[in-house]
A and B are shown apart, each in its own frame.
Chain A
Amino acid sequence: GENVEQHPSTLSVQEGDSAVIKCTYSDSASNYFPWYKQELGKRPQLIIDIRSNVGEKKDQRIAVTLNKTAKHFSLHITETQPEDSAVYFCAASKGSGTYKYIFGTGTRLKVLA
């Protein structure tokens, strides 16, 4: 069945360093890949997304890359700050005409001051 694997499950970085979270999906028909950030006790918030017609998208300190051939996509956070500490979830969706997100299991990011 459809599956999204996410690694690592936990990640600790020093403030100012970069963080990278990787996801692999199984359904080659997937063409929309959102990333959500969930702070403790709060709702998941969309931080960036990418569609399969592009290979990379950047928004300030956050970027996402997509490799459709290898069926994996990654979240990159540069110049990390303590407020980046949260759980990050990747998801894959078939996009047009469909609806279901398959979520990864999450990465707990800790940015150490």
Chain B
Amino acid sequence: GAGVSQSPSNKVTEKGKDVELRCDPISGHTALYWYRQSLGQGLEFLIYFQGNSAPDKSGLPSDRFSAERTGGSVSTLTIQRTQQEDSAVYLCASSLEAGGRGGTQYFGPGTRLTVL
């Protein structure tokens, strides 16, 4: 079946502009996660959704970052007033449920964000 999809695959923007990154999870997956991966680095947790609510936003680096999820499906990660240090690959993952045997996370292909 269809996996997690993300759009756009690449985004180049100028410093100070706002960007929106989109994630379509696997159908029926209730949990959705955003991670950031800087060049050659590991995966940094940003935020987690259970349904439309975000019980854990602890990984968001600053108040310029926000995310929402609607209809228990699509999620959008918004970065306002982008800075060069925001350049990274933003990965989305979804899981059937949060934790337990249905908690295995499946990743999307990522959005490569470049801030000039």
Binding site secondary structure of chain A: loop
Query: Which one of B64-72, B76-84, B105-113 contacts A?
Result: B105-113
The one of B45, B99, B107 that contacts A97, using a Cβ cutoff of 8 Å: B99
Are A32 and B108 CB-contacts (below 8 A) given A99-B31, A103-B43? Answer: no
- B residues less than 8 Å from A103 (CB atoms): 42-43, 45
CB nearest neighbor in A for B50: A99
- Count class of interface residues, chain B: 20 to 34
**Interface residues contributed by chain A, number (CB under 8 Å):** 24
Q: State how many angstroms separate the Cβ of B52 from the closest Cβ of chain A.
A: 15
The one of A46, A49, A94, A102 that contacts B106, using a Cβ cutoff of 8 Å: A46
Partner-A contacts on B (CB < 8 A) = 4, 31, 33, 41-43, 45, 48, 50, 56, 91, 95, 98-100, 103-110
